[in-house]
Amino acid sequence: MTGKPGRTDGPDDARGPWDETPSDTRKRALRVLRALKRAYPDARVPLNYTSPLELMVATILSAQCTDKRVNEVTAPLFMKYREPADWAAASQDVLEAEIRTTGFFRNKARAIRESTADLIEKHGGEVPNTMKELTALRGIGRKSANVLLVHAFDLQGIIVDTHFRRITRRLGMTAEMDPVKIEFELQAAVPKRRWSDFSLFVNWHGRETCFARKPECSRCVIAGDCPARESLGEIVWNVKE
């Protein structure tokens, strides 16, 4: 991103003077990645799963829900529903009751049933491994597709969740709020071979240090590369994620 980040009404936008060329941004992104990898050597996807199908279901359930709650809910469900046909044939009412505590349970139950039905109809019951095929499934958007590409198939992708959006905005690497626009902007700022790592470690930094309400700038390993560090370290933010 060239020049200063655009100012928005959100409290998580980068503040203070920060001017750099696209080349400088790419170099800074790599410095950030190296520092975060050293700081969080055990970072991993926080959802429990043993197959692409389980990850797809868990990802659908994770919208507006904590990973801990999703893991609690999916533990018994993954023993009950083992194949796409099991999920697709599930009663809407029963599945809603089983996933109720994850929130938005009606839409999530429908998304699970429809996406697994699409797997059967279009892909022989297998989860596909391309963005085009994944986003053609009902109930699967770009974020969920990138989660599957990265963690189920070991491919490159940028996963824009609330943590990633917050931190890349604070870093001044984007001024966008729309996840798709952020994804494309960061694709240009980060080498493709590093997309998946960058997503994982930035996400983990948001969970461990750069919190929405009160980021712990005093112990942040990338503070030297963050234009928001001075104001963020003094203010308790009330961020609506």
Residues catalogued as catalytic: 143, 161
Smallest CA-to-CA distance from 56 within 132, 151, 120, 122 is with: 151
Q: Which residue has the tokens 């499934």?
A: 137
Q: Which residues of 12-33 are buried (b: 16+ CB within 10 A; e: fewer)?
A: bbbbeebebeeeebbebbeebb
How many whole angstroms from its chain centre is CA 149? 12
Query: How many other C-beta atoms lie within 10 A of the C-beta of residue 8?
Result: 12
Q: Which residues of 49-68 are buried (b: 16+ CB within 10 A; e: fewer)?
A: beebbbbbbbbbbbbebeee
